[in-house]
Amino acid sequence: MKGFVFHGPGTSAWEDVAEPDLKDPADVVVRVETTSICGTDLHILQGDVPEVAAGTVLGHEAVGEIVETGREVRTVRPGDRVLVSCISACGRCRYCREGTYGQCRGGGGWLLGNRIDGAQAEYVRVPFADHSVHLLPGAVDSQDAVLFADTFPTGYEVGVLNGSVRPGDTVAVVGAGPVGLAAIVTARLYSPDRIIAVDRLPGRLESAARFGADARVLASDEPEQLVEDLTDGLGADVTIEAVGIPETFEMCTRMVRPGGHVANVGVHGKPAALHLEDLWLKDLTIRTGLVDTSSVPMLLSMLNAGRLTTSPMITHVFELEAMEEAYEVFAGAEDTGALKIALRGPQ
Ligand code: NAD
Ligand code: ZN
């Protein structure tokens, strides 16, 4: 079969690789119907994620059909259509029992396209299948569902839930990439008064408006002033950082009201300063974390019920074989306007 293989910083190729087999009785093998590319994959290609070994098939987002199940798998059978979560969960350890799958101590966590071969391929082996793949509700389209492998649960769990968004809140989302947009869509479920989107690109702010932001402001146009003006000088109840750079994290800690919540979603390559000398008076709650994907079943049923807007997020669709071209379009998002790209195998 073919897969997209990382060969060390700067080199990768869509090439022949061995088809995966079951290695453990809790595994399944999935035929990939649709996969996608994540910003994290670009970090891996640049060499920013050193634990990814050369020779690894990348990808941690997929929808597909179960073709083989290990003898311990209880929840799915060959022929089932499933969403493959970006996090694999043993289901037994203390963290998994609490739903914090990202911290799994039983051999799970972020495995696909990181510690083992991933989903940018014709077939993928998924460990701990009972807690790591989810049956698709009948009517859900695979191009919508693939967004629930990582993007939507991240915006929701690490942004909206960690930020404790409540009815009547003013929520500022800094960074309107796919994850920030998913935070905007899922924050809306909690009836905030207003959602303010901040980005450095006008195109991303247009997307934010399409996904339900009430106000939008360029990072260069004094977003802190706008938030102050809109909140009688208090600041936002919740700020969600969905960029991953020190400037925007610090902006979030300044833009939040006293007693408010800062949810850091962005993955930071460099240390960000925590100005406790200013912040101690503000009574802040600051949270951060890795996505768990424990909200996926709930998000999928809301999608099935037509309660979540997803479709405009897939801006480009390619055949699986066009993986290398898709990476170029995704990496050039500033010019191509790409948000998420779907790569389709046989359906
Ligand atoms: P993205 O790069 O597509 O989006 C980031 C957005 O931030 C872009 O629209 C960009 O224009 C904007 N931006 C850049 N600099 C800015 C600035 N100075 N001010 C305002 N906006 C600015 O990334 P994404 O896929 O949406 O992911 C967002 C972040 O979430 C990334 O850091 C990613 O690594 C992280 N992430 C975290 C988890 C987790 O488990 N915590 C999971 C997945 C992704
Ligand atoms: Zn576990």
- Residue 49 in contact with ligand 1 by CB distance below 6 A: no
Question: Count of domains in the chain?
Answer: 2
The pLDDT, as a whole number, for residue 312 is 85
- Residue 205 in contact with ligand 1 by CB distance below 6 A: no
Which residues are placed with Cβ below 5 angstroms of ligand 2, an ion? 90, 93, 96, 104, 106, 108
User: Same domain for 97 and 180?
Assistant: no
Q: Are 117 and 3 in contact (CB under 8 A)?
A: yes
Sign of CA dihedral 331, 41, 177, 31: positive
Q: How far is the CA of 309 from the centre of ligand 2 (A)?
A: 31
Radius of gyration over every alpha carbon of the chain, rounded to an integer in angstroms? 20
User: Same domain for 262 and 315?
Assistant: no
- CATH value at residue 132: 3.90.180.10
User: Same domain for 12 and 146?
Assistant: yes
User: Same domain for 6 and 145?
Assistant: yes
**Token pair 């260069």 is at which residue?**
220
In this structure, which ligand is nearest to the CA of 104? 2
Burial of 325 (0-12, 13-18, 19+ CB in 10 A): middle
The pLDDT, as a whole number, for residue 269 is 80
DSSP-assigned letter for residue 101: G
- Residue 48 in contact with ligand 1 by CB distance below 6 A: no
Extended strands (E) in 116-255: 123-126, 133-135, 170-174, 194-199, 215-218, 236-241
User: Same domain for 311 and 279?
Assistant: no
The pLDDT, as a whole number, for residue 216 is 97
The pLDDT, as a whole number, for residue 268 is 87
Q: How far is the CA of 66 from the centre of ligand 1 (A)?
A: 32
102 CA closest ligand 1 atom index: 40
In the chain (347 residues long), the average pLDDT of successive 10-residue segments reads: 97 98 98 96 91 97 98 98 98 97 97 98 98 92 95 98 98 98 97 98 96 97 97 98 96 97 92 91 96 96 91 94 98 96 94
- Residue 154 in contact with ligand 1 by CB distance below 6 A: yes
User: Same domain for 160 and 217?
Assistant: yes
User: Same domain for 327 and 206?
Assistant: no
User: Same domain for 229 and 146?
Assistant: no
The pLDDT, as a whole number, for residue 275 is 92
Which ipTM was obtained for this model? 0.99
- CATH value at residue 169: 3.40.50.720
The pLDDT, as a whole number, for residue 139 is 79
The pLDDT, as a whole number, for residue 38 is 95
User: Same domain for 142 and 32?
Assistant: yes
**Alpha helices, H only, 200-332:** 202-210, 223-230, 246-255, 276-279, 296-304, 323-331
Residue 106 lies in domain: 2-150+292-344
- SS3 of residue 263 by DSSP: strand
Give the containing element (helix H, strand E) for 310. Answer: none
- Residue 15 in contact with ligand 1 by CB distance below 6 A: no
Backbone φ and ψ for 260, nearest 5 degrees, come out as -85, -175
Q: Closest by alpha carbon to 85, among 289, 290, 293? A: 293
In this structure, which ligand is nearest to the CA of 100? 2
